[in-house]
């Protein structure tokens, strides 16, 4: 067990990540979704006094918070305002030969949900933005107000696995004929009208899947994940660990398939590691987290 718990923030599956990533003294690691520094702090503590960390974070505001939190470790961190899909390029630019471990946490941070004001949460009335990086040109509102009914239905069905995607898309088209849809509250009301009460999910808000779909599309999340899964093993040392936390089935299926089909990886988690009851009670947002881990098998060729 570890005792590095960032104040005001509970990084998901922290002890499990520490176990499977196994940071050691002098190692070089990449936290590809640095967030506000929870997992990164644990990695730096575990690899001290001379381990190094590449901290990639697409969200500039979250990166600034991480830099403040991790200030005591600044001489051991390379901060990068980059997407995790750029990991291989970043490693090459820094002149690093290989990594001892890679961590990717695909979930939204508490900062993004509670503070950012960019419409990630359906529980607040905020602008429909959903861009993790404000440099990206297309927001969720842009998609909502420009795509055709068929395109919206396809997007919500594929990325959100929402059975009522066509009804929601039809409701969006009807509403935007009255004026642009600009806020999360507007969208939530459309979704609630589109999904019959008797078919609404019991454990999640009816808007969950549609919001997930829009966020994935705006930030190209699956394409970015596929790229880092292809390239990750090319920059791992023999025995290096590759750990990924996903939060929905689309991500988890990609990770599972990529790990199982990559012949240089030895899978360390036959089934995804899930948070325990105590963690879920303390942090309900952790309930859908799934950790998969693998190691580069030095006995296999990368060719």
Note whether 42 and 179 are same-domain residues: no
Note whether 35 and 182 are same-domain residues: no
Contact, 99 vs 237, CB < 8 A? yes
* Domain closes at, from 174, 199, 219: 219
Note whether 177 and 188 are same-domain residues: yes
CATH of the domain at 52: 3.40.50.150
Note whether 73 and 155 are same-domain residues: no
Instruction: Give dist(CA 206, CA 98) in Å, integer.
Output: 44
Domain span including residue 98: 14-111+222-296
Note whether 176 and 258 are same-domain residues: no
Reported as a single tens digit per residue, the pLDDT across 142-193 is 999 999 999 999 999 999 999 999 999 999 999 999 999 999 999 999 999 9
Q: How far is CA 136 from CA 106, 217, 241, in A?
A: 18, 12, 31
Query: Is residue 7 a part of any domain in this protein?
Result: no
Reported as a single tens digit per residue, the pLDDT across 254-284 is 999 999 999 999 999 999 999 999 999 998 8
Note whether 128 and 73 are same-domain residues: no
* Domain closes at, from 219, 240, 256: 219
CATH of the domain at 212: 1.10.150.170
In the chain, the percentage of residues whose pLDDT exceeds 90 is 87
Sequence-separated (6 or more) residues with CB below 8 Å from residue 101: 21, 22, 23, 27, 29, 30, 43, 236, 240, 241, 242, 243
Note whether 212 and 228 are same-domain residues: no
Query: Is residue 139 a part of any domain in this protein?
Result: yes
Write down the pLDDT at residue 5: 35
Note whether 213 and 122 are same-domain residues: yes
Note whether 131 and 210 are same-domain residues: yes
pTM: 0.92
**Strand, helix or coil for residue 211:** helix
Q: How far is CA 147 from CA 143, 151, 152, 156, 214, in A?
A: 6, 6, 6, 12, 12
Domain count, the chain: 2
Judging by beta carbons within 10 Å of its beta carbon (0-12, 13-18, 19+), is residue 50 exposed, middle or buried?
Answer: exposed
């Amino acid at each position: 067990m570890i005792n590095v718990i960032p104040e005001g923030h509970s990084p998901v599956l922290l002890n499990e990540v520490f176990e499977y990533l196994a940071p050691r003294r002098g190692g070089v690691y990449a936290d590809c979704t640095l967030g506000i520094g929870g997992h990164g702090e644990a990695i730096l503590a575990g690899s001290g006094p001379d381990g190094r960390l590449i901290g990639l974070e697409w969200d500039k505001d979250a990166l600034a918070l991480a830099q403040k939190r991790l200030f005591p470790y600044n001489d051991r961190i390379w901060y990068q305002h980059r997407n995790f899909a750029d990991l291989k390029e970043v490693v090459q630019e820094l002149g690093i030969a290989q990594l001892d471990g890679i961590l990717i946490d695909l979930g939204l941070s508490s900062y993004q949900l509670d503070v950012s004001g960019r419409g990630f949460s359906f529980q607040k009335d905020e602008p429909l933005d959903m861009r993790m990086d404000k440099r990206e040109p297309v927001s969720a509102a842009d998609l909502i107000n420009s795509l055709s009914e068929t395109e919206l239905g396809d997007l919500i069905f594929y990325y959100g696995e929402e059975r009522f995607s066509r009804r929601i898309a039809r409701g969006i088209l009807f509403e935007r004929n009255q004026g642009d849809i600009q806020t999360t509250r507007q969208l939530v009301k459309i979704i609630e009208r589109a999904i019959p009460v008797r078919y609404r999910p019991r454990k999640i808000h009816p808007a969950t899947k549609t919001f997930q779909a829009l966020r994935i599309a705006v930030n190209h999340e699956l394409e970015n994940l596929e790229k880092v899964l292809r390239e990750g093993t090319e920059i791992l040392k023999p025995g290096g660990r590759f750990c990924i936390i996903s939060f929905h089935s689309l991500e988890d299926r990609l990770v599972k398939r990529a790990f199982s089909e990559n012949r240089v990886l030895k899978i360390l988690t036959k089934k995804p590691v899930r948070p325990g009851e105590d963690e879920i009670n303390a942090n309900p947002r952790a309930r859908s987290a799934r950790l998969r881990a693998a190691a580069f098998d030095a006995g296999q060729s990368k060719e």
